[in-house]
Amino acid sequence: MRTDKLLYGLLILVVLVMGFNAYQISQLKGIKKTSTSNNQNNQITAQSAFSGIDVIPKGIPRLYGKELGVSYDDVSASNQQKADATIKRLGTLDEQINLNGKEIERYISIASQISCEYCCGVESIIFSNGKPACGCNHSYAMRGLAKYLIKNHGDEFTNDEILEELGKWKTLFFPDAIAKKAAILKGKGIELNYINLASNKYRVIENQ
């Protein structure tokens, strides 16, 4: 009888130990699952913080928009024909407008600060002497607009404001690349303006 009671006691003890272990394991699984879920939520939250960035300029540009008959809204993947026509309209200005003296100096100062790296890969859209450094339509458009604003609105636009305008159009030309850059800049606490987004100021930041 003693032996039977001892066996029953041991059996009950084993059952209790097994039950306790099973409970502990289930708790650990729950913790791991919660931790994984929290990590996933944190990743989603971080991604969402950047996915909502809208850097696309909209509407009619100040002063020159009505004069040239162009709008930021003209360059869109939804109407490639209109986009091409707008880019061409700006591009023809590069060949039509001749600058002189101080205008050329100002032009070189502005245009040397921006490139078409997502297309041409050159250091800027012009060489140091002001001659075209890239033959793509995007570069023609940016050079043409710079010349137009210097020639016709030189007193109404500062150099930085002209560079900002070139940056706006470059953003329209390469929306995905600029949006990606915007997320990186925002993550580093850098102000999202069109000089920071599109000029050479932070050109290689995507590779850092």
pTM of structure: 0.76
CB 114 within 8 A of CB 200: yes
pLDDT digits (tens, 9 = 90+) for 135-178: 999 999 999 999 999 999 999 999 999 999 999 999 999 999 99
The phi and psi torsions of 179 (rounded to 5 degrees) equal: -65, -40
pLDDT digits (tens, 9 = 90+) for 91-131: 999 999 999 999 999 999 999 999 999 998 899 999 999 99
Q: Quick check: is 4 in a domain?
A: no
Two structure tokens written together for 185: 């800049």
Q: What is the pLDDT of residue 193?
A: 98
CB 159 within 8 A of CB 106: yes
Q: What is the pLDDT of residue 12?
A: 54
Q: Quick check: is 9 in a domain?
A: no
Residues 6+ away with beta carbon under 8 Å from 45: none
User: Could you give the number of structural domains in the chain?
Assistant: 1
Is residue 185 pLDDT above 50, yes or no? Answer: yes
Q: What is the pLDDT of residue 207?
A: 84
Domain that holds residue 189: 64-207
Q: Quick check: is 138 in a domain?
A: yes
Q: What is the pLDDT of residue 26?
A: 46
Mean pLDDT of 178-191: 97
Q: Quick check: is 177 in a domain?
A: yes
Q: What is the pLDDT of residue 82?
A: 98
Task: Please give the Cα distance from 106 to 203 (Å, whole number).
Answer: 22
From residue 50, give the alpha-carbon distance in Å to each of 54, 112, 124, 134, 183.
9, 30, 28, 32, 5
